[in-house]
Amino acid sequence: MNVLLVFAHPEPRSLNGALRDAAVVELAAQGHEVRVSDLYAMGWKSAADRADFPQLPPDARLNVATASGEAFKAQILTADVRAEQDKLLWADAVILQFPLWWFTMPAILKGWVDRVYSQGFTYGVGEHSDKRWGNRYGEGVFAGKRAMLVVTTGGWEEHYSERGINGPIDDLLFPINHGILFYPGFDVLPAFVAHKVGRLDEAGFSDVVERLRARMRTLFTDQPIPYRRQNHGDYLIPSMQLRPELGEEGTRGFALHVAAAR
């Protein structure tokens, strides 16, 4: 199978660099073909701006969504964006790897999403009617592919637990897992999270590496998070509200969008 690993850490000799290398070696040992987009090494341009759309007349008002949709349709997106879109189409599984920075992904990776996920590619696609609301949340360009996050945190696991002060890690990662990965159709695997990694001794380091290698071995067999699919009856259209009879009593917020079983 083909695996794309999108890597967002500025230092190759970091823990994240070592984890990336371990993941690549393990995936290759499993017979997979791996490509890495090392965003800092590539000098990835993270801001979506006018320079992305040279076709736009200088006096035209920039609407990023519209401009990206038109450029996607005309196949004139910039070469760096097209290359990443091609890698995504090539991949059977996509891994986004990053250190947690201010409770989310580093800006360079967010900028990769902003620019690569053009209109017409990942959003603004499919029929909108009283039966369907576009191809999204379980449908879309990446349907049939898998995705997962590999994340390191400075904070303790307890601090990211249900009652921990940082908020539950699943909640913090929900906008990425559900909004960025599930939205355009990926089956999203539970994230690999290594907590409290700031000062690791050799045993701690080996433990994290081994846990990650184990997850790489089950990349194509692990069960995805059972997010509710949009066009399969769980939601009212067009309000996009979860049907009142669904969701366990007492469940609120993000957890409502995870079904007990698919």
Q: Residue 8 or 93: which CB sits closer to ligand FAD?
A: 8
Q: Do 39 and 7 meet the contact criterion of CB atoms below 8 Å apart? A: yes
Query: Which residues ranging from 200 to 219 are in contact with ligand FAD (CB under 6 A)?
Result: 200, 205
Q: Work out how close the CB of 255 gets to ligand FAD at its nearest, in angstroms, rounded to a whole number.
A: 22
Query: Which residues ranging from 12 to 71 are in contact with ligand FAD (CB under 6 A)?
Result: 14-16, 18
Tracing tokens 């996009």 back to the chain, one arrives at 240
Binding residue for ligand FAD, selected from 155, 164, 167, 168, defined by CB under 6 A = 155
E strand or H helix at 211: helix 202-217
Tell me how many residues contact ligand FAD (CB under 6 A): 19
Q: Residue 34 or 173: which CB sits closer to ligand FAD?
A: 173
**Binding to ligand FAD by residue 105, rule CB under 6 A?**
no
Which residues touch 20 (CB under 8 Å, ≥6 apart)?
5, 7, 9, 36, 97
Q: Residue 9 or 146: which CB sits closer to ligand FAD?
A: 9
Burial of 216-243, coded b for 16+ CB within 10 Å and e otherwise, reads: beebeeeebbebbbbbeebbeeeeeeee
Identify which range of 23-31, 69-77, 173-181, 199-207 contacts ligand FAD by CB under 6 A.
199-207
Q: How far apart are CA 70 and CA 76, in angstroms?
A: 8
Tracing tokens 């409502």 back to the chain, one arrives at 256
Q: Work out how close the CB of 159 gets to ligand FAD at its nearest, in angstroms, rounded to a whole number.
A: 7
Q: Work out how close the CB of 212 gets to ligand FAD at its nearest, in angstroms, rounded to a whole number.
A: 12
- Per the omega criterion (within 30 degrees of 0), is the bond before 57 cis? no
Q: Do 48 and 17 meet the contact criterion of CB atoms below 8 Å apart? A: no
Q: Work out how close the CB of 150 gets to ligand FAD at its nearest, in angstroms, rounded to a whole number.
A: 11
**Binding to ligand FAD by residue 100, rule CB under 6 A?**
yes
Query: Which residues ranging from 133 to 152 are in contact with ligand FAD (CB under 6 A)?
Result: 152
Q: Residue 120 or 168: which CB sits closer to ligand FAD?
A: 168
DSSP assignments along 36-56, one per residue: EEEHHHHT------GGG-TTS
Please report, as ranges, the residues that interact with ligand FAD according to CB under 6 A: 9, 14-16, 18, 99-103, 152-155, 197-200, 205
